[in-house]
Every structure is written in C-alpha cells, then in structure tokens.
Amino acid sequence: MPARRFIISLILLVPILRADDFATRATPLLSKYCYECHGAEKQKGGIETHHLTSMEAAFRHHRFLENIAEEVEFGDMPPDDHDVLPTDAERKQLVAEIRQVLKKLETGDFPKNAGRTTVRRLNRNEYNYTVRDLFGIDFMPGREFPADGAGGEGFDNVGDSMFVQPALLEKYLAASKKVVASLYDDPRQLDRILVVKPTEKIPPVQAARATLLTHASLAFRRRVTDEDLAPMLALFESKTAAGESYADALKPALQALLIHPSFLFRIEADQPGKKEWRIDDFELATRLSYFLWASMPDRRLLKLADEGKLSDPATLRAEALRMLKDPRSESLSRHFAGQWLGFDELREVAAPDPVRFPTFTPSLRVAMYRESVEFFNHLVRANRPVLELIHADYTFANAELAGHYGIPGVSGSQLQRIALQDANRGGVIGQASVLTTTSMPLRTSPVKRGKWILDTLLGTPPPPPPPDAGVLPGDDKSTEGLSFREMLEVHRTKASCAGCHEKIDPLGFGLENFDAIGRWRTKDANGGPIDSRAVLPGDIVFSTPKELKDLLLASDELFLRNLCRKMLAYALGRPLEYYDEAVVTDLVTALRKDDLKMQSLILSVIASHPFQHRSAQR
C-alpha cells in the first residue's frame, strides 16, 4: 500500500458503473499491458490477471484489484523495462475503472446476499468450551484433537476448512468416554447430571428420557425430538435389560450424546424454494453464543429462543450486552484478536533463541500473551474506542513484564493496568507479544513487521516474494561489520525485490528500536546505533513507533475497514465475498457514529443482515 494512503482520502467518489463497463473499458488495458507476464501462459510471481474479464469477475477479485490499482497508479507496474508502457491517460483510465468497481461494492449497488456458511463442526476450542459449559468439567477433553487450520480471513472457525478425518472421529469417541468417565468418578457431579431418577411413580425409562431430554436440549442447541432420543433410549434399555443399574445404563447414552452430529456440528436448516431467509431463534442463539463465547448458548438464551423472543432487536441487543459482561467473552480476545493480530502464535510458535535472549522465560512468555488478551478484553468490556488498538496510554503488565519494558514501580505476578509515559509503547504495535511473533529467533525482522502492519492491521497484503528473492541472514550479527539494515539494503538492490520492499521495509524500520523480544534498545547486535529512519513513498519521513502510529491514526479508514471485515468474518465463520463489502461500509459508518466504541462494532455485526440471514447459495 503506497504510504500516500496514510494522508489522503482512500476512497474516491466516482460514478456508478453501468452493467459491464469493466469488460469494455478495463479488460482491454489489462490484456494489452498485463497478460504478457500475468496471463494464461505465464504467471510471474504467481499473479494472474487474465480472469478479470467482466464486472462479476472484478467483484469476486476486488481485493486483488486494489493491489493492481496501487501498482498502476504509482508506476510500479508495468515495470520500466516492459516493452510497451501505458500512457498517463491509460493509467488514469484503468485506475478509475477499478476505483468505480470498489465504490460500487462499498455502496451496495447490487442485489443483497446474506451468504451461506458451510456446515461447521465445533473446532477444538469450541468443543472444549462447550463440554465445559454443558457438564461443568474442568479439563480440556479436545486437547488431543488435531489442530484446526486457519480458513478464509485467517480464523480457525471457518466451515470451509474444517475437514472431518477418520482419525478425528476416533478422537471424538475417546473424548466422549473420557468426559463421561470424569462425571461418574465424581459422586457430586454424577448426582447433578442424573437430573431425574427412577421412583415408584417414575419408571427408569421415563427418568432416563427426562434426563437425556434435558442434556440433549442444551447439547443440540434446539428443540429435541423423539427421533433424536430414540437411539439413546434404546442403548439405555439394552443395558437395563442386561441387569445394569440406572446410572450405569445411562453411561453409554450420555457418551452417544457427545458424538451425535447435532452436538458436534452447527447445522442450520435450509428453507426449500427460498433464495434467502431469516434464521430461526435457535440458530440465532447459536450464532450469537459461538461469536461472543466460542461456546454453546446458555439456558437463558435457549429459553428466549424457545419463546421466539430472541430475534426481537431490543432483546437481542440486551442479551449481547449481558454476554459481553460474562467472563466467557474473553474468547473474543483469545481467539478473535489472538488469531487476527497474531499474538496467539506466542504461546507455542514463537521461539526466540534462548542464548541470545536468556530473559525470555516461560513466565515472561505467558505475561506477554496475557497482556494482549487483557488489553483487548478491556477494550470490549469497558467499551473503549477501537483506535486504542493503534495507540493507548495504558497497558496491562505484572512486575516481570514491566521490568522487561523498563517501567518501574510495578510489583506482583498478577497483571494490572498501568499507565504508559512513553508514547512509543502504547497499543498493539508496542506489545511484546506482537513484536516477538514478528521477529526471527536471533533478530528483528523489518520485513515481517512491515508486512504485519500492511496485512494484519490495514488489510492490504503485499504480493508474495518472487521465487528468486533469496533468503536474508537469520542473525543480525555480521562478520563483515554490516548492520542488518545494510544487509537488507543489499538484498533490495534486486529489481524483482525493490518494489515491494520499498513499501514494506520502512514500516518495519520504524520499529527497529524494539528488539526481537520487544525491549527498547538504542544499539544493534553489532554495537552500532539503531537506524530507525524510514522514508515512505511520497517522501513521508518518520523514525519512531509514535510517529508511525500518528500516520496510521491520521488516516484510519483502512484500519477500520479491516477491523470490521475481520470481525464480521469471525462472527459468520466464512470467508467474506464481494457482496459483504457494503456490510463492511455500514459497520464502519455505525462505528464512527458511536465514537468508534468497540461494543458498537460488535452490536452492529450482530444486527447485520448476513448475521441474521442465510442464503440458498453464495
């Protein structure tokens, strides 16, 4: 993303396109100047443009179009050594046509589509939390499940990427046995689980039906039918016929409950003959609870759903606010923010070299992670402005983390809110979790940090490196006396690398005063002074994290759109499509109207058309 975007308007007000002006006005220019290197026969850098032949194609690849517009507008593409270069008028025409497509998407001038989420199984975290809330267990039975891969928009709750392998089915069965066994090993738990017990007036099968109905209604997150209960009751009756006690005969039925498709999968019913419909209140309760809690709806939500009251806008809003006050809403910080901002990787992936960074202890790793969780949690609970993600004058730290930051006067092992006097430190850009995960084991990485700002914060990912890009040294200690910045400058002399690095590296250079584990430093690994001076395209100069944050805050549209886009995708559990861009625009508008408050965004997502509706097709 050209740095000019920091200080100029990012969305141009242009006329709405007619039916397929793109095919007649933009495609010929792409064919003339782009197909030679990025066409059907050759895709330099893995980039292809020959599929952009219609308005529909332009809509579907709108994120890619943004990159094309930037490259063309600022003369980066076609490269100067291309046989034929577009005139200034042609460049302006192509950029204008692309901007019109993007504007059309943002204004929603096309048929509304709620989208369609693939049937989703519970991911590993959702399974753990759901079993916890269903039966009150205090361990993680899904710990042995395979890790869930990230799907569209980078989240592990996306249905398209949640495959069910035979090995996982075996893990489900083993986990169900482990959960039920733990209940039976605790007499108090077992007494609570056996909701109804046989008496002279209540025969065993009737008691079993009432008990299973209670748990299945919660586990299935809907009304339970006789057809649902029949297999479980058959299991129970076969065991009692074999002479087993009431409690023992219920054991396999409870295990069957935990491997039932209605428990393991979030199934939303289709309505034949309709192109789109409002989801029912039980489905709404499930969407709401897995968005805010990553767990099942509680009894209050299900009761409101059963009464048909949850979809009332005032009731839905009140329930959402109630749920945000609940400790379970920390899942938004751990799993939405953790995956979006990348600090979730600090838990197991980040691996600073223990010899180079001996102060990076297990307890410091935990404190770094918890700082980011508590910070985002505070933004949600206290309804703080979302721009505090970019800069805030406070953070959360314990004595060890405060010492790591060079902040005196903090004691104890518990994290607490502390005031920040140094404007370089506030916001996620100055948090050690992010700075560590965007570094290498032995050194900082201006490239990774710059890419993190472009991609993660602003939603404008740079293109992938070319195959011949080469590899930068893993250590910033140079035997030749060069600083890492000087080594990177050598790397950037490659023509195929220079264009992207010109946009990425300055953003990372501005953070060079933070070392690979987030400490402030004034000297590099070779003992030389840190050179953090950065020059962005457009001759924009800065040299400190504070100045970088000032640039981001001065032009916040990209950040706000990306935040809204990410939260909507996480809530829906599906990749966003071109027709969602108008929803994102509405979310940003609502956010600005309410002083950018975090709860305003969450409530707007819940009230949005795609959150409350489902389409027959994407």
Q: Is the pLDDT of residue 98 over 70?
A: yes
- At residue 510's C-alpha, the angle toward residues 506 and 514, to 5°, is 135
Q: What percent of the chain has pLDDT over 90?
A: 67
Closest CA to 139 of 148, 128, 130, 147: 128
Average pLDDT (487-501) is: 66
Residue 294, both tokens: 């990553």
CA 25 to the chain's CA centroid? 36
Average pLDDT (435-454) is: 95
Residue 441, both tokens: 């084991």
If you write DSSP's letter for every residue of 235-295 in order, what string do you get? HHHHHHHTT--HHHHHHHHHHHHHTSHHHHEE-----TT-SEEEPPHHHHHHHHHHHHTSS
Reported as a single tens digit per residue, the pLDDT across 595-605 is 999 999 999 99
Q: Is the pLDDT of residue 11 over 80?
A: no
- The angle, 0 to 180 degrees and rounded to 10, between the axes of the packed helices 124-135 and 204-220 is 140
Give, in order, the Cα–Cα distances in Å from 203 to each of 256, 316, 603.
22, 40, 47
Reported as a single tens digit per residue, the pLDDT across 318-349 is 999 999 999 999 999 999 999 999 999 999 89
User: 552, 5 in Cβ contact below 8 A?
Assistant: no
- Contacts for 579 with CB less than 8 Å, ≥ 6 apart: 59, 105, 110, 111, 112, 113, 115
Residue 414, both tokens: 């518990």
The 3-state DSSP class for residue 43 equals strand
- Contacts for 447 with CB less than 8 Å, ≥ 6 apart: 472, 488, 501, 504, 505, 508
Taking the C-alpha atoms of residue 361 and residue 562, their distance in angstroms, rounded to an integer, is: 34
Reported as a single tens digit per residue, the pLDDT across 170-210 is 999 999 999 999 999 999 999 999 999 999 999 999 999 99
pLDDT of residue 3: 41
pLDDT of residue 485: 76
Taking the C-alpha atoms of residue 233 and residue 257, their distance in angstroms, rounded to an integer, is: 11
Taking the C-alpha atoms of residue 392 and residue 389, their distance in angstroms, rounded to an integer, is: 7
More confident residue, 185 or 479: 185
Q: Is the pLDDT of residue 566 over 80?
A: yes
Q: Is the pLDDT of residue 298 over 70?
A: yes
CA 189 to the chain's CA centroid? 36
User: 574, 115 in Cβ contact below 8 A?
Assistant: yes
Reported as a single tens digit per residue, the pLDDT across 531-553 is 999 988 788 999 999 999 999 99
Taking the C-alpha atoms of residue 136 and residue 142, their distance in angstroms, rounded to an integer, is: 15
Reported as a single tens digit per residue, the pLDDT across 110-167 is 778 999 988 999 999 999 999 999 999 999 999 989 888 877 788 999 988 888 888 8
Taking the C-alpha atoms of residue 157 and residue 166, their distance in angstroms, rounded to an integer, is: 20
Taking the C-alpha atoms of residue 567 and residue 335, their distance in angstroms, rounded to an integer, is: 11
pLDDT of residue 18: 44
Identity of residue 12? L
The residue with tokens 């979310």 is 587
Reported as a single tens digit per residue, the pLDDT across 552-565 is 999 999 999 999 99
pLDDT of residue 495: 59
pLDDT band at 481 (very low <50, low <70, confident <90, very high): low
DSSP letter assigned to residue 461: P
Identity of residue 70? E
pLDDT of residue 7: 37
Taking the C-alpha atoms of residue 52 and residue 42, their distance in angstroms, rounded to an integer, is: 15
pLDDT of residue 42: 78
Closest CA to 434 of 560, 346, 557: 346
Closest CA to 101 of 39, 19, 29: 19
Give, in order, the Cα–Cα distances in Å from 184 to each of 259, 260, 264.
18, 20, 22
pLDDT of residue 479: 60
417 phi/psi in degrees, rounded to 5: -70, 130
Taking the C-alpha atoms of residue 540 and residue 95, their distance in angstroms, rounded to an integer, is: 23
Identity of residue 135? F
DSSP letter assigned to residue 344: G
Give, in order, the Cα–Cα distances in Å from 180 to each of 144, 167, 193, 255.
16, 20, 10, 6
The 3-state DSSP class for residue 197 equals coil
Q: Is the pLDDT of residue 470 over 90?
A: no
Residue ranges per domain, the chain? 17-107, 120-266, 347-382+391-554
Neighbours of 132 (CB within 10 A): 18
DSSP letter assigned to residue 385: B
Residues 3-31: b if buried by 16+ CB within 10 A, e if exposed: bbbbeeebeeeeeebeeebbbebbbebbe
Residue 577, both tokens: 């499509």
pLDDT band at 419 (very low <50, low <70, confident <90, very high): very high
Taking the C-alpha atoms of residue 171 and residue 433, their distance in angstroms, rounded to an integer, is: 32
Residues 298-331: b if buried by 16+ CB within 10 A, e if exposed: beebbebbeeeebbeeeebeebbeebbeeebbbb
pLDDT of residue 10: 32
- pTM greater than 0.75: yes
pLDDT of residue 467: 65
Q: Is the pLDDT of residue 224 over 50?
A: yes
Taking the C-alpha atoms of residue 520 and residue 518, their distance in angstroms, rounded to an integer, is: 7
- Contacts for 107 with CB less than 8 Å, ≥ 6 apart: 16, 582, 585
The 3-state DSSP class for residue 406 equals coil
pLDDT of residue 255: 97
- Contacts for 366 with CB less than 8 Å, ≥ 6 apart: none
- Contacts for 261 with CB less than 8 Å, ≥ 6 apart: 267
- At residue 170's C-alpha, the angle toward residues 164 and 176, to 5°, is 105
Residue 404, both tokens: 């790591």
